[in-house]
Structure 1
Amino acid sequence: MANLLVRNVDDELVQTLRERATAHGRSAEAEHREILAKALRAPRRKTLAQVLMSIPNAGADADFTRVDDGIATNVLG
């Protein structure tokens, strides 16, 4: 296993890490490893293509045709 040294960490942040470690019943070093593991092993966000492909089929294109109700829709001119 590799070692990781983190320099110039704010004292308040270190204190928060120690408090969190105590609350979880482990050392600050073990808490640090757990935080890193959770952050880096979290599921990656879906791409736009994946999100679009997950949208269910909501009907035929004809269901969404524009109805000409006489109101101007061109806001640019």
Structure 2
Amino acid sequence: MTGEAWFRPKRFGYGATPTNWKGWAFVGLFVLVIVAVVLVSIAKAIPAWLTALIILALTGAIISFIKAKTDGEWRWHWH
């Protein structure tokens, strides 16, 4: 994916962190989606294992997008 980076590699550890409002908005939207999934699961009496599976699938789906919008490579950082 080309364009402006929304995330940068973390200074310590593995992964990325938001660098601008678009990255933070994306993270905030993801949190709201997860909260909505949990609330709907409670209201509809969906089993906890299925709710966990849905959340895991959503998390896995956004990782490639975040990697594409990261300015740099995801690797373990010690410095």
Identify whether the pair has TM-score above 0.5, normalized to the shorter chain: no
**Structure having greater relative contact order (Cα 8 Å, sep ≥ 6):** 2
Larger radius of gyration between Structure 1 and Structure 2: 1
| Greater share of strand | 2
